[in-house]
Structure 1
Amino acid sequence: MKDSEPILNVYLSHRLHFVEVAASIVGCRAKAEDIVQDAFIKATLVHDKGTHIQNPVPYLLQVIRRLAIDFLRFGRIRNETDIADSAIQNLLSDPRSPETYLGNSEELAIIENALAALPERVRLAFEMKRFGGCKLREIAVALDISVGRAAQLVSEAMLACQTALDQAEPRN
């Protein structure tokens, strides 16, 4: 850690500025905080491997910009947690009460109906990703499509599930 102190000092003294830069790109302060932390870790790893970073502030700003742009390109599809994803995760966990079980069963029925209404390829991509644990690359190969198109199909299915959950009548 002692070798990384210059990077740490720059990170600590410029963190608020770094977060502002990232937030101006991604539009979310919480995600910007994550991006800045990721940039710090990347810079620390580079520094610890023996590469001397002569100008750490511009270097970190460049890493932050690239991570933020990568998030805009790929993160929204792959990494964001939304209502439908949370509902699915809740369904997979052990319910703590009969009310939770009933609520989860209702959400599951809504998701099942939403998935049943989707085109087969969209539904299959979603099931492979969420239930089969397949990577987008594996889905693309299985469906003979590009990785970007696989991501679009999964995103389309997630949006359909989320929309169905949003439109469902709220429970009492």
Structure 2
Amino acid sequence: MEIVQTMNSDPGLADSSSFYVVMWKQTEQTYWQAAPFRAVADPGIQLKVVKSKTGPGEYLRNSLWHTGDTPDQVRLLWKDPRNVGWKDKVSYRWFLQHRPQVGYIRARFFEGSKLVADTDVIIDTSMRGGRLGVFCFSQENIIWSNLKYRCNDTIPADYEDLSAQSTQ
């Protein structure tokens, strides 16, 4: 399956006020509309949990753009400490694991066969299920290709390792 985003636009969402989002900003950039607040994005990969009290609109838009937490909108779970933006005309593979029943989240990002970023294990129980979709905000000519997902109840070994460490 392949999805193509041809136009630059405001964010496109499937579930409007409660979701996890992985985003990768190419450069530092301040959102061009300073209302309702000034939103500044740092380069790099971010994993956020969105629990928006307002739903779609200006607050959520600027909160998604902004790197960091925004009260009553977005909480930053992880940011790549390297602050490296994506490169033009480069294909990246993302491997995302989520086990909602235990709150396990891990995302890995590859350029070819080279691992370029890894969230390691994150535990967050904000949401216990839902749908999977793609997200684009202010970028044109994106191609999502070779999209696959599967349901898997097996808890990854690194979660078990983390649980064992926390009980010692």
TM class by shorter chain equals under 0.3
Structure with greater contact order relative to length (CA < 8 Å, sep ≥ 6):
2
- What is the TM-score with the length of structure 1 in the denominator? 0.19
Larger strand proportion of the pair: 2
Work out which of the two has the higher radius of gyration on C-alpha atoms and give 1 or 2: 1
Larger helix proportion of the pair: 1
- What is the TM-score with the length of structure 2 in the denominator? 0.19
